[in-house]
Structure 1
Amino acid sequence: MVGFVGRAGELAALERHLGWVRDGRGDQRGRALLLRGRRRVGKSRLVDVFCQRAGVPHVVHQATRGEDPGRERARFLAEVRRSSLPDTALLAGVTRVDDWDTALRQLAAVLPDDAPSVVVLDELPWMLEGDPVLEGTLQTVWDRVLSRKPVLLVFIGSDLAMMERLSAYGRPFHQRGVEMVLSPLSPREVRAMTGLSAADAFDAHLITGGLPLVCQEWREGESRGAFLARALEDPTSPLLVSGERMLAAEFPTTLQARQVLSVVGSGERTFGTIAAAAGSAGRPLPPGSLNPALRTLADKRLVAVDTPLSSRPGDRDRRYRVADPYLRFWLAFLGDGIPDVERGRGRVVAERIERGWASWRGRAIEPVVRDALGRLLPDERWPEAREVGGWWPRTNNPEVDLVGADRPAPARRICFVGSIKWQDNAPFDRRALAALARDALAVPGADGDTPLVAVARGEVTVDGLAATYGPEALLEAWDRPVSSG
């Protein structure tokens, strides 16, 4: 199915949850599933396809942000009446109710007792924003009514932090649902979708972020330049509009957090440089404003906070980056270029991307490589390497791309130190090895006997390395589950 390359495993997982309901395996007949994932990764589409294939009665309610709770309940009941659930005629005269308790009990009345069904509440966090009492109501109605039916109740949400909190200890729905995370397409899945070489598939992943709607626009075997030139001819292309829609959904009112995100996306990484760039009239943004904005961005999983990995604590030398590769690319190149695209000057934006591509990619690939190595390790060579990061001092000189350690900082043992050289037609040579050997000695916990590692887009033309990884080897990381450590 177009747009579902790599989603067979997720569809199978949903079918297993429905099979659990169908077979009556638990002490409760129903099962609640909390499905979360970044915006635009295809959560709604995945569940729609699953419902179509499952062949059981189902209803899907898509919430509207900012909707009046009474109108939201009315829309919910209308969806139930129009659904494939049996006995919906019982609700023929019910168009509006005063609370969610009544609305959910009306739903329960039309769920079958002797066959499985599926109920989907899409963007549950928006429903909770409009009516905070709903969280407790869901728990009450689930315990007393819905869980006694053979129903798979699916909650979908893009607010990752809120979806995680729903099942946290002390919250009404604690231990009442199972959790499922829908990730963007991996670099390996992007390669399958685009037909590119391993190296070029990583480029495509950095541009698309693994968002299915963007990936499916990439023609098989198409070069990076050709894809960008074609996409930037169309102001409505998913490559352009996905970023705007993501930001509009995340920041309907929080303008300061959006401004800080734009500053981080422009390349600023330290607290001081972010404050300076986000300020006005020559004055930096004060900590009392910047700290809450960064916390908001971290809670929303839009900004990642990195600390240097070594045998010393690293919390004082934090660095901030945009967590999502697509949004990082959009903020760096596309957001400011939309007016040019709308005036038919997409080539200007494409030229700007090409001029800045090598420098931007060199930084953007680093967290992807660390993620890949974190999935590949530990292995027989480094059985203790359970954490992969980078290292930098407060002066940022030297900056070491890769550090493998037995645990987060402060680590007991540094297993290896490495360098990433991700350039076209530029091998990892004797000069690169000499620079790595010199910089490795600055990493607390490393010494002259610490193994050295190279990650390169091109050739490695030097001996003396404990291990080397190229694009093909890195792609293998997504053939296996992440080690639990």
Structure 2
Amino acid sequence: MRKGHFVGRRRELASLGRRLDLVTEDGRGKAITVRGRRQVGKSRLMEQFCRESRVPSLYFQASRGVSVTESLNDFVSAIAESTVPGAADTPRTAPSTWLEAFRLLNLVLPADSPAVVVIDELPWLLQQDPRLEGQLQTAWDRLLSARPVLLALVGSDLHMMEAFTGYERPFYGRADELVVRPLNPAETASMTGLSGSDALDANLITGGFPGLCRVWPNGMPPREFFASQCEDPASPLFTVGESMVNSEFPNPDQARRVLEAIGHGERTFNNIAQAAGAAPGEPLKSGSLGPVLLQLREKRAVDADTPLATAPGNGGRLYRVADTYLRLYLAMLARAHEDAKRDRPDTALRRITRQWESWRGRAIEPVIREALSRAASDETFPWPEADAVGGWWPRTFAPEVDLVGADREPVARTVYYTGSVKWLGTAFDRHDFAALVRDSARVPGAGEGRAGLVVVSRSGVEPGVGADLVWGPEEVIAAWS
């Protein structure tokens, strides 16, 4: 795959295309919110759609931290520079409110042919001017919805974008929703020219963010990629993570300390509290940590896993940074970046290499769980009802069973299989299998041979391992193919 080509996103482009078709057919406007994490490729998706749609379009990119007046001026400039037929006649007098700005937009939109209007980073505009939400609703109801326009409202603040169309909010019921997710492992493989375990490594390293995949030299093995990036302190491998942390958590406050604690590998509530405290021996109080964890989960920066079995789990939540690239950045890339900036690329690479295998072994587990969940829809899969896939652990966190396939979560009616993930350079052997059998017997609903046994191994299995299903890297990637 040559760099610069647009990879994947056929589902998202088709979804946008269907809405534009409806606009064309009935001559009335449709609105859609487009949300996804930073760096996931929302802006490039919308730019590609505008190119492929071959209809007049207006693309407005909001700026963070500017005044309302500046944003209104920029919006008028975006109208004038657009391909909308009446754009050349746009008055240069800046409106004083967003309602006036949308009236101006209404004047230049065609009345009898479709157009696309994209407002990118809507949350920044909402932060600048709380009146915008109501004024946009008024403009949509009274003016824009009567035009054949597809209005796409784009944003990276997931919680704010979800709330924007929520019940009792002005725009409730007026917009469809499109969620843009990172590239999946199969798309990452196509974009980087890799296969098998190397492609899965690339997916973990880049988080499936298209911008990071584009800087990956075609077919370069992961270790060579790390080495080449450590030679360049300005590499996006480092700077994208730095930008993400600084933009979403600009101050070194409690939220940032908690995120960093989780990124460094703390998974339990108590351990996070200890690591995120203001000083050693002074853990963050539970009354403070709880709301911070809730905030991080609402922002989709952190996920929380709970034990999956036929009985309610008493093992408590295990927290992890939601996307693997940011998780990697917090765990090792941030410090490696400091080494690289001090002209010590060898030290940076050693730091990454020293932690890589153990980090990768845990980071791959959610990817494998999602792959198994997707595979349940395949008629050849042994347990088609097992579309809920998680893990299980008791209060002591010993043992931890990597994989539990069940009919629903968080409390299952039926556990169909348990399994183990071994993502190392050695094969899954009979000792590993004996441990899986022993530990699986403790999972409520899986004991006494009632559930199948699954092995997912990076380096294959030894003869004599009697698993009901064995997967390697190729099968994991194939779940998305």
Q: Which TM-score band (shorter chain)? A: over 0.9
The verdict on how the C-alpha distance between 1:377 and 1:94 changes in structure 2, with shifts beyond 3 A counting, is same
Written as runs of structure 1 = structure 2, the 5 A alignment for 1:296-445 is 296-314=295-313, 317-380=316-379, 381-424=382-425, 426-445=426-445
Give how far 1:170 is off.
2.3
Instruction: Show CA shifts across 1:142-188 (max 9, x none).
Output: 11110110111111111112212222222222221111111111111
Answer whether contact 2:315 2:394 (CA < 8 A) is retained.
no
User: 1:245, 1:262 → 2: CA distance?
Assistant: 15
Q: Match for residue 283 of structure 2? A: 284
Q: Match for residue 164 of structure 2? A: 166
Select which of 17, 21, 46 maps to 2:23.
21
SS at structure 2 position matched to 1:65? coil
Q: Match for residue 84 of structure 1? A: 83
User: 1:228, 1:12 → 2: CA distance?
Assistant: 35
User: 1:335, 1:176 → 2: CA distance?
Assistant: 42
Give how far 1:443 is off.
1.0
Letter in 1 for 2:430: R
Give how far 1:199 is off.
1.2
1:189 equivalenced with 2:187 (yes/no): yes
Answer whether contact 2:336 2:352 (CA < 8 A) is retained.
no
Give how far 1:254 is off.
6.7
Q: Match for residue 475 of structure 1? A: 477
Percentage of pairs with the same residue: 51
The CA RMSD over aligned residues, in Å, is: 1.6
Written as runs of structure 1 = structure 2, the 5 A alignment for 1:154-303 is 154-253=152-251, 255-279=253-277, 280-303=279-302
Letter in 2 for 1:400: V
Q: Match for residue 112 of structure 2? A: 114
User: 2:373, 2:228 → 1: CA distance?
Assistant: 35
Letter in 2 for 1:395: T
User: 1:281, 1:268 → 2: CA distance?
Assistant: 15
User: 2:339, 2:328 → 1: CA distance?
Assistant: 17
User: 1:185, 1:76 → 2: CA distance?
Assistant: 31
User: 2:238, 2:248 → 1: CA distance?
Assistant: 17
Q: Match for residue 137 of structure 1? A: 135
Letter in 2 for 1:474: V
Select which of 3, 6, 10 maps to 2:12.
10
User: 1:21, 1:378 → 2: CA distance?
Assistant: 33
Task: Return 455-464 or 149-158, whichever deviates more.
Answer: 455-464
Give how far 1:296 is off.
1.3
Instruction: Show CA shifts across 1:238-279 (max 9, x none).
Output: 111110111122123472211111110000000000000111
Task: Return 8-17 or 427-436, whichever deviates more.
Answer: 8-17
Give how far 1:423 is off.
0.8
Q: Match for residue 54 of structure 2? A: 55
User: 1:379, 1:215 → 2: CA distance?
Assistant: 29
Answer whether contact 1:3 1:212 (CA < 8 A) is retained.
no
When the two structures are aligned, how many residues end up with a matched partner? Answer: 474
Give how far 1:379 is off.
5.0
The verdict on how the C-alpha distance between 1:453 and 1:7 changes in structure 2, with shifts beyond 3 A counting, is same
User: 2:430, 2:156 → 1: CA distance?
Assistant: 47
Instruction: Show CA shifts across 1:316-365 (max 9, x none).
Output: 61010001010011111111222211122122111111111111111111
Letter in 2 for 1:22: T
Give how far 1:378 is off.
4.9
Give how far 1:433 is off.
0.8
Task: Return 28-37 or 164-173, whichever deviates more.
Answer: 164-173
Answer whether contact 2:374 2:387 (CA < 8 A) is retained.
no
Q: Match for residue 40 of structure 2? A: 41
User: 2:101, 2:251 → 1: CA distance?
Assistant: 30
SS at structure 2 position matched to 1:172? coil
Instruction: Show CA shifts across 1:24-51 (max 9, x none).
Output: 2xxx611111111110111112212222
Q: Unmatched 5+ residue regions in structure 2?
A: none
User: 1:266, 1:340 → 2: CA distance?
Assistant: 18
Answer whether contact 2:19 2:30 (CA < 8 A) is retained.
yes
User: 2:141, 2:133 → 1: CA distance?
Assistant: 13
User: 1:215, 1:106 → 2: CA distance?
Assistant: 40
Give how far 1:207 is off.
0.6
Instruction: Show CA shifts across 1:111-159 (max 9, x none).
Output: 1111111111100011111112211221121111101101111111111
Q: Match for residue 483 of structure 1? A: none
SS at structure 2 position matched to 1:304? strand
User: 2:465, 2:252 → 1: CA distance?
Assistant: 52
Q: Match for residue 456 of structure 1? A: 457
Letter in 2 for 1:80: I
Instruction: Show CA shifts across 1:364-411 (max 9, x none).
Output: 111111111111115552132121000011111001100111111321
User: 1:463, 1:229 → 2: CA distance?
Assistant: 37
